Structure 1
């Protein structure tokens, strides 16, 4: 069965699946809840909790799930799947990329972390001065062009006040860009400030992010070093040394 544990007018929907999930659960509980959110004019941020007592889906439930996805293909903003079931986690990792919104899995004891992730803006840039002539930029979530435009004035103001500066780029919660416009804003920001950073520390959690250590020195006049996510303190110490 499916129970709704939280539902808000802002589109936050928390559900819990227990026992065997049937077509009736979709028709009487989940689909009406998603429809209500769409009627309110907000995208759905879904927390889907699947505990140890979950016993699978009936064939009718699988069909209802497919119909829900097709009808509301663009209706979801984020989906957090909270479970300790290894098979479900593997399935989400394998097929989550096919969905038009970010999907993440969390262990059952990380449910509060999942809620925090759902409540965060879909994408944001955080800019903070962390020392004398030292700036930290955090890229969070999936960034759109508006995310960059919201922070460009802050970055331009800092650049106007500092001829050269040290830069910390925190990519630990970065999930990519929402289309070519966001990529263009990102490249434009690099081009505009390319001569100002002289020392850059990049902290990330994905293998492709290590390329920054090779690529950035090609376009920026800056010594660049990459650090894994657990080495954030070391990255900051290296930058500020």
Structure 2
């Protein structure tokens, strides 16, 4: 399940992943929110957090994530991933070269630091 993180400034989206994330979660939550935000903003920032109960993604969710990222390849400004999931951290590091934005990886205890970074002015 995906939940929107409220209270972020315009041009910044945040999502918290709970349990097992499915392609339906992307289709019903992430894709509409991202598309609506891109309709209003040339560049977006993304804060993605895995909750303590996160168990993984189904293959359809991974595919939808890749398609969404590629569809807006030059539109990402900053991406922050907040997770303590070992395999996800390793995957993020291995593929960080392919993320078309400033990318930072944070541990779960660093959620406030990640939020400050993702919402900071461009010169920070």
The number of residue pairs the alignment matches comes to 124
Deviations 1:73-124 (A, max 9, x none): 12211111011112211111111121110111111111110011111233x3
Pairwise CA RMSD: 1.5
Give the 3 Å change call, closer, same or farther, for CA 29–99 of structure 1 in structure 2.
Answer: same
In 1, Cα distance between the equivalents of 2:64 and 2:7? 21
Structure 1 segments of 4+ aligned residues over 3 angstroms from their partners: none
Unaligned runs of 5+ in 1: 125-139, 141-241
Question: 2:69 aligns to what?
Answer: 69
TM-superposed CA distance for 1:40, in Å, is: 0.6
In 1, Cα distance between the equivalents of 2:57 and 2:77? 24
Give the 3 Å change call, closer, same or farther, for CA 16–47 of structure 1 in structure 2.
Answer: same
Question: 2:53 aligns to what?
Answer: 53
In the alignment, is the contact (CA less than 8 A) between 1:7 and 1:13 conserved in 2? no
Question: 2:17 aligns to what?
Answer: 17
TM-score (norm 1): 0.49
In 2, Cα distance between the equivalents of 1:16 and 1:102? 20
TM-score (norm 2): 0.91
- Of Structure 1 and Structure 2, the greater strand share is in 1
**1:115-194 → structure 2 map (5 Å cutoff):** 115-122=115-122, 124=123, 140=124
Is residue 2:106 matched to residue 1:106?
A: yes
